[in-house]
Amino acid sequence: MTRTRLTYAHRPARELLRIAAAEAGAWFLDRISGVFALGSMAHGGFAPEVSDVDIALVFDEIPADAAERVTALAEHVRALVPAEARPLADRLSVFWSDWPHLCRGEGAGRLPAVDRADFLEHGVLLTGHDLRHLCPRPDAGELVVESAHFAARKFGAEPYLALLRSPRRLLAAGAREATRAVLVPARVCRTLATGDVVRSDMAASWYAAQGLPAHHLVTAAATWRQDGLPLDTGEAEWLLGRYLPLLHAHLAERIRQTLGPSAGADAAAACDRLTALSRPVS
């Protein structure tokens, strides 16, 4: 059944989605078939201080210059919002594909398997036509393998690693960066273990229930995501310093188990860098 109502009543985010959907229609004229809300504004769990505002444009056929024009559209939408809404608008994330590829189970454009699964299961139609009933869902194998490669690319990159090595810098970057550094790896671990995709709070609960390394940190980060960082960040800094390396070392081991010999040199090297973060604590 087509979903046409958002699950979260955060007015600034809803207004941002409304503006983005209207401007997309004008920007691409008759090329867009449907515009959908994705992510936590659609499936629940939206946290105003940290969540992205995700939207998906589905074309009849992807334009040749779609990537450049979608980037320009996002900048245009951000410029339209009032100054007080700019921090939220800076978190606008635009996904895009077309119905022919989606109906063949292909993630052309910018709609990888994990986001495609969210789109098919939870996306909320904002305007246009909904043909999701014709589109196959990514299977568990595709979700697992793509998630493993995504994690190796994102978490094994040196700029990210540098932030992980300094809990104080991570906290200074704010609640969004600090919680994402914990909860995104926890979500990936959940997907690698189960082959499904769930929202951040559910992944945190699963991680804690499994008693996995860093479950104390994951539970704390789920609270920070909703309530913000504590005024006294001393305990948060200690938790990050103690458990963040363990979290990423565990993730690296899950990636190795998932990809096996087919991991490739880049993914293997990324896993080695993640594992190297883990050091005995005196």
Question: In whole angstroms, what is the distance from residue 44 CA to residue 113 CA?
Answer: 19
Q: Which of 83-92, 94-103, 258-267 has the highest mean pLDDT?
A: 94-103
SS3 280: coil
Taking only the tens place, the pLDDT of each residue in 208-240 is 999 998 999 999 999 999 999 998 999 999 999
Give residue 279's pLDDT: 58
SS3 70: helix
Helix (H) or strand (E) holding 150: helix 140-155
> Would you place residue 157 in the very low, low, confident or very high pLDDT band (cuts 50, 70, 90)?
confident
Average pLDDT value for residue range 35-58: 93
C-alpha separations of 213 from 218, 246, 275 in Å: 9, 6, 13
Is the confidence at residue 52, as pLDDT, over 70?
yes
Average pLDDT value over all residues in the chain: 92
Is the confidence at residue 3, as pLDDT, over 60?
no
Question: In whole angstroms, what is the distance from residue 215 CA to residue 206 CA?
Answer: 9
> Would you place residue 281 in the very low, low, confident or very high pLDDT band (cuts 50, 70, 90)?
very low
* pTM of the model as a whole: 0.90
Average pLDDT value for residue range 184-192: 95
